[in-house]
Amino acid sequence: MNSVRFSDFNLSEPILRAIQDEGYTTPTPIQEKAIPEILQGRDVMAAAQTGTGKTAAFCLPMIELLSSRKGPGPRALVLTPTRELALQIQDSIGAYGRHVRLTSAVILGGAPMGPQIRAIARRPDVLVATPGRLLDLIRQKHVNLEKVEILVLDEADRMLDMGFIHDVRKIVSMIRARRQTLLFSATLSTAVQDLASTMLTDPIAVRSAPDGSMASKVDHKVLFVDRDNKLELLIDVLRSDNVQRTLVFTGTKHRADRLVRYLERAGISSAAIHSNKSQNQRQRNLGAFHSGRISVLVATDIVARGIDVDRITHVVNYELPKDAENYVHRVGRTARAAESGIAISFCDADEIPLLRGIEKLIRQTLPAVHEHPFHSGRVASMRQDRPAASHPTPFRRGRRPQNRARSRQPLARGA
């Protein structure tokens, strides 16, 4: 059991009070390792999976350092790949800095520039931004980064994957060399380490867990199913009594929208969130999910790392991710803050290689659930490695429909 407390760090009373307001007393492993080093002014390269408390790991010491010295802003810049993650970080800064005189602003695409320009004009201490919109405002001479003392690159591997590396390099070149740089990434791949070597000075590397590791309280299940039966299986899962707040992942934006239409027709309240939605739509749908006005959020991998919603009981992989690493981030949306959760993955014949890739990454075999109304023995038999023992279904059993409605077949194939 971890005997370290936040009070053991060199944090001021107002920040400790804010931590207490949030209900935290014990730091997570990444917080325990990173916070003291950041407070010492070191450059830090940290590997931290989703759900490990990495946002607080850099926000708490950053707020502490900034509040102890004054000056014109922005004095800290946090770069992050997605709008949802930028807003989440902005919320965290507001929560942890509620008892200190510290201001912040968020800059992101998909939202009107006017309010953001006015927020920048107030010279906030901390600027949280996505790279594209920040570069636009720099070119328009609304943002000056000459006073930045602390630079945070959050989800660095994701920024590389999304092609932001050139924008990031341009932005970093505008910041003075004498600064403190913090890089947080789910993995410290060769590409991430190469990036760090050009932007960090004598960094200390810290890790919270090996690559591919996940929260211990996630109960993993794989359901083998023919592709044409996935929609009906999803309905059966979502109508179960113990399924409350569910995040469903699909591979494409188009399919996410089609699933929502199908679920709404089935009487299940749902909404979609993906990059084709405007920022207002994304925030409105996310807010409805957070408040419980809808029970299901259908998403693409854009939110696999970008949302922090309490009490998500289930994550359903309607389609397995093509990048095995995204499985870790998807299921990390549940079992947060010491809670437990269930990750259910649908696997059709074409996804067997993806399943093997996931199991290789996480170094475990996903337990198979055979007792569900749409189980496909044909697909299950394609699993070449030693089959896992059959587990009881994590939701109530339904009955296989005797006659599938013909009107549903085209949607099932095209979804």
Q: What is the pLDDT of residues 383-399, one digit of tens each?
A: 864 444 444 555 544 44
Q: Which pLDDT score is estimated for 408?
A: 35
Domain with 399, as residue range(s), is 218-414
Q: Do both 252 and 196 map to the same domain?
A: no
Q: Is residue 1 part of a domain?
A: no
**pLDDT band at 336; cut points 50, 70, 90:** low
Has residue 64 got a pLDDT over 60?
yes
Lowest model confidence (mean pLDDT) among 17-21, 269-273, 336-340: 336-340
Q: Quick check: helix, strand or coil at residue 92?
A: helix
Last residue within a domain, chosen from 157, 181, 207: 207
Q: Give the mean pLDDT of 328-332.
A: 84
CA end-to-end span of the chain: 47
Segment 202-249, tens digit of pLDDT: 999 998 765 545 555 789 999 999 999 999 999 999 998 888 889 999
Q: Is residue 51 part of a domain?
A: yes
Tokens representing 226? Answer: 């023919």
Please state, for a pLDDT cut of 70, what percent of the chain lies above it: 87
Q: Give the mean pLDDT of 179-193.
A: 89
- How many domains are there within the chain? 2
Q: Which pLDDT score is estimated for 403?
A: 39
Segment 46-56, tens digit of pLDDT: 998 766 788 99
Q: Do both 191 and 275 map to the same domain?
A: no
Q: Is residue 178 part of a domain?
A: yes
Tokens representing 305? Answer: 């790392």
110/155: higher pLDDT: 155
278 vs 400: CA distance, rounded Å: 39
Lowest model confidence (mean pLDDT) among 61-70, 204-213, 399-408: 399-408
Q: Is residue 213 part of a domain?
A: no
Has residue 137 got a pLDDT over 70?
yes
Give me the chain's average pLDDT, please.
86
Q: Do both 265 and 199 map to the same domain?
A: no
Q: Do both 244 and 189 map to the same domain?
A: no
Q: Do both 236 and 194 map to the same domain?
A: no
Q: Do both 165 and 305 map to the same domain?
A: no
Has residue 74 got a pLDDT over 80?
yes
Last residue within a domain, chosen from 184, 207, 230: 207
Q: Is residue 309 part of a domain?
A: yes
Please state, for a pLDDT cut of 90, what percent of the chain lies above it: 59
CATH code where residue 396 lies:
3.40.50.300
Q: Is residue 196 part of a domain?
A: yes
Q: Do both 178 and 284 map to the same domain?
A: no
Most confident of 115-129, 269-283, 304-318: 115-129
For residue 249, give the H/E element and its range.
Answer: strand 246-249
Q: Do both 264 and 160 map to the same domain?
A: no
Q: Is residue 239 part of a domain?
A: yes
In the block, tokens 């996931």 appear at: 358
**pLDDT band at 264; cut points 50, 70, 90:** very high
Cα dihedral 74, 80, 81, 82 sign: negative
Q: Quick check: helix, strand or coil at residue 171?
A: helix
Q: Which pLDDT score is estimated for 310?
A: 72
Q: Is residue 377 part of a domain?
A: yes
Residues in the chain: 415
Q: Give the mean pLDDT of 128-147.
A: 95
Contact indicator for 73, 292 with CB cutoff of 8 Å: no
Last residue within a domain, chosen from 150, 174, 207: 207
